[in-house]
Structure 1
Amino acid sequence: MNIQVVRPRELGDSERARWRELQKADRSLDNPFLSVEFAVAMDRLRDYVRVAVISDSGGIRGFFPYERHSFGIGKPLGGFLTTCHGLIAAPDLKLDAKALLRACRLSVFDFDHLVAGQPTFAEYESDVRPAPVMDFTSGFEAWIEQVKANSPKNLKTVRYKERKMGREQGELRLEWASPDPEVLRTLLAWKSDQYQRTGRVDRFAQPWIVELTDMMHAENSSDFAGVLTMLYAGDVPVAGHFGLRTATTLVGWFPAYDTEYARYSPGIVHHLQMAEAAANAGLHMVDMGKGGKEYKDWLKSGVLYVAEGRVSRPSASAAVHWMGRTPFNKARTIVMDRPSLYKAADRVLKGFGRVRTSMQRQEPSNAVTQEPTGAR
């Protein structure tokens, strides 16, 4: 087996076509974060993006996109931004994982959203987690019946708020696949505000992430596209989402809403309408990603599985990396496993966000402040 490491931008048309062919042949790889278009976009913005092209006498057998950081530390493509990673290859391809790392000049590869069960990495999986999905393969009506079965009370309450918002704020309409960059700016401003209110790191304070989002929004092919949806009450935007899709799967990425309309639960209202629009557009699934949000359990009609784990070769940098990461990963798993701990952690972060917001408001009026990147 031959392994050649290149930049994604260096892949030729035939190699990109082979990548798409392998991805389409395996349903577990039907995720836009595994698409060649995403790898090429990341390569334009980050110098440490690489892809291992795996071949034998019969031709290309697979692709392994990754990030190579200092001291040979390997990370999944997109890192904390993405919800799926792994080998793009035939389901039965099994490589020596440590030999793959050696060819990629990596001392360690740490993963937490790997496609579960890939033969190359299966023995290194330390935990496997469900990722809830909205499955429309039996039609939208079958999905909404499953949502009703999951929680009749929740569905009734959201439908009531949906009607109430329409009466009080103007007729509701959902725009699917909006091409308008100003609509995207609105959504990202809401998302930045949400990160700050809830004590999280504002991803859109990093210019390269804003640029990546803009690049993805401009993508629009049959196999890969950025999809911006926005829910309006009258002519006023109230909730939206930006995600990526393949030909059949939309992945949840950046949902947000205007807090002025929080009493109507616009985020969930938007998700219900977005689901119907996705099904009408011919998509089979919305992948909501793993995580501790209660609404995902309510809206799900199936699950996919992603794995956490670590592959390393003997080295000082791998040992240091293990000491730094393992306690954090275990603590995170414990919190995500227990709803009471997750809610407590969420309350602490929101409290921190309120304090941070209050301090920002108390700054002298003549102080120079930096506008959030996503609020341009």
Structure 2
Amino acid sequence: MTKTGFKTAIYKADVLPASVTSAWPKLRSSNPRLYSPYFHPDYTKTIASLVDNVRIAVAEDEKEILAILPFQGERFARPIGAPMTDYHGLICRPDCGLTIGDILKDSSVGAFHYSALVENGMHNSENTSRGAMIYFPDGAEAWKKAQSSSYTRHMKDLRRRTRKSDEQIGSSRFEFRSQNPDLLKTLFKWKIAQYERSGFYNIFGVEWTSQLLRDLWERPICAPLRVDMHALYIGDRLAAIDTGLTDGTTYHSWIVAYDPTLGIYSPGARLLNAILDKSDDLGYERLDLGVGIDAFKRHYATEDVTTSSGFTPISGPAAALAQVYDAAEKLGQKKLGDAPGRLRRRYSQIAACENTVTGRAKAMVRSVANCRL
């Protein structure tokens, strides 16, 4: 199809026409790249219940709905749920042929910032990243038997660390799909402390982010979209917590934290591997670890997931400013590496959480001052 002959309407989440709510799951299921539960309509609906600036752009021609784009913001728009959303993009068929710029060209949006846009062949971003994802439709054991020597060595190291922790602290045990509220409190405590140690912005410093996680976690196991929480104990000590967004088939490891005093025992990697072992009982066919294949994640990155980050200039002063900043960032990369890009991503994260100019300024000053962008 061509980029002509369609129109875009923009709706609030609570007034979506029935035709859109009906088309959404059909478009998602038609496109293998939209496997992530972040593209589930309930994810957008849940966020819209917590914040008031969610809008949904819908492109359609005379015959059908072509694409759906949930987003937030006005002149400078951003993906739905940023910075909590690990993947984002157009909800459309693989051969849609439309871009975000096409869909928003006649809207009030001047520029759209994205940080992990799922590639569909219609974007030419120079800033791409690979994600770590495991797909095992034939079961976890079949997947493990097919892995390379790198994974084998990784497992050997985990077994060694497990024996060491068993000897020094006590036997390990796992708790799957925990509904223990104390674990959730500990997760927030650990994660906030991690942000403080690293100098990263505390995304849980605003109410809606923690409430989003809590609301999804409190849903029953039969819910079409929910958060599952799994934990590892070493002896009597809570060692690691892994909370993941799931639609029942895909488990996206979302907010993960562990006791730093137990770091030498690799509690996070051991918990992930236990989730993989238990996945047949849990109903998972895919584990997604998000963008990046650093540290132990490289041993699990067996499927191709490519995302991109950057700006889509659309119209007006916001588009011009985005283009100027993009050019400055590329120029700065020649001397400063990825520092300008990290600064942009950090500001986008802060802007998504902080509603006031003062709050954004203070958060950025702290980020620059600690030199850990």
Using the size of structure 1 for normalisation, the TM-score is: 0.80
> What residue is the counterpart of 2:103 in the other structure?
100
Q: 2:90 aligns with which of 87, 90, 95?
A: 87
Matches within 5 A, 1:21-40: 21-40=26-45
* Cα distance in 2 between the residues matched to 1:172 and 1:13: 49
> What residue is the counterpart of 1:177 in the other structure?
177
Matches within 5 A, 1:1-376: 1-11=6-16, 15-69=20-74, 72-95=75-98, 97-118=100-121, 122-145=122-145, 149-220=149-220, 221=222, 223-291=224-292, 293-324=294-325, 327=328, 331=333, 334-335=337-338
* Cα distance in 2 between the residues matched to 1:98 and 1:335: 25
* Cα distance in 1 between the residues matched to 2:151 and 2:89: 34
Classify the secondary structure of the residue corresponding to 1:251. strand
Aligned amino acid, residue 273 of structure 2: L
Summarize the Cα distance change of 1:297–1:83 in structure 2 as closer, same or farther, 3 Å threshold.
same
Classify the secondary structure of the residue corresponding to 1:81. coil
> What residue is the counterpart of 1:370 in the other structure?
none
Q: Deviations over 1:279-321 (max 9, x none)?
A: 4322121111222522111222222111234322342222223
Aligned amino acid, residue 12 of structure 2: R
Aligned amino acid, residue 163 of structure 2: R
Aligned amino acid, residue 203 of structure 1: I
Classify the secondary structure of the residue corresponding to 1:192. helix
| Distance apart, 1:6 and its partner CA | 0.9
Classify the secondary structure of the residue corresponding to 1:106. coil
Aligned amino acid, residue 158 of structure 1: L
> What residue is the counterpart of 2:355 in the other structure?
none
Summarize the Cα distance change of 1:142–1:327 in structure 2 as closer, same or farther, 3 Å threshold.
farther
| Distance apart, 1:87 and its partner CA | 1.0
* Cα distance in 1 between the residues matched to 2:127 and 2:81: 21
Using the size of structure 2 for normalisation, the TM-score is: 0.80
| Distance apart, 1:328 and its partner CA | 5.0
Summarize the Cα distance change of 1:149–1:13 in structure 2 as closer, same or farther, 3 Å threshold.
farther
Classify the secondary structure of the residue corresponding to 2:200. coil
Classify the secondary structure of the residue corresponding to 1:40. helix
Classify the secondary structure of the residue corresponding to 1:33. helix
| Distance apart, 1:13 and its partner CA | 5.7
In structure 2, runs of 5+ residues without a counterpart are 1-5, 340-365
| Distance apart, 1:60 and its partner CA | 2.7
* Cα distance in 2 between the residues matched to 1:259 and 1:291: 21
Summarize the Cα distance change of 1:64–1:172 in structure 2 as closer, same or farther, 3 Å threshold.
same
Summarize the Cα distance change of 1:216–1:186 in structure 2 as closer, same or farther, 3 Å threshold.
same
Tell whether the 8 Å contact from 2:133 to 2:303 is kept in structure 1 after alignment: yes
Aligned amino acid, residue 174 of structure 1: F
Q: Deviations over 1:44-79 (max 9, x none)?
A: 22222110122333333331111123xx11211122
Aligned amino acid, residue 106 of structure 1: V
Tell whether the 8 Å contact from 1:240 to 1:255 is kept in structure 2 after alignment: yes
Summarize the Cα distance change of 1:331–1:206 in structure 2 as closer, same or farther, 3 Å threshold.
farther
In structure 1, runs of 5+ residues without a counterpart are 337-351, 357-376
Classify the secondary structure of the residue corresponding to 2:196. helix
* Cα distance in 1 between the residues matched to 2:39 and 2:256: 21
* Cα distance in 2 between the residues matched to 1:148 and 1:99: 42
Kindly report the root-mean-square deviation, in angstroms, between the aligned alpha carbons of the 2 structures: 2.8
* Cα distance in 1 between the residues matched to 2:125 and 2:44: 24
Summarize the Cα distance change of 1:166–1:147 in structure 2 as closer, same or farther, 3 Å threshold.
farther
* Cα distance in 2 between the residues matched to 1:273 and 1:97: 39
Aligned amino acid, residue 19 of structure 1: W
Aligned amino acid, residue 103 of structure 2: L
* Cα distance in 1 between the residues matched to 2:309 and 2:208: 26
* Cα distance in 2 between the residues matched to 1:13 and 1:189: 41
* Cα distance in 2 between the residues matched to 1:283 and 1:25: 20
| Distance apart, 1:30 and its partner CA | 0.8
Summarize the Cα distance change of 1:258–1:5 in structure 2 as closer, same or farther, 3 Å threshold.
same
Tell whether the 8 Å contact from 1:143 to 1:301 is kept in structure 2 after alignment: no
* Cα distance in 2 between the residues matched to 1:182 and 1:224: 22
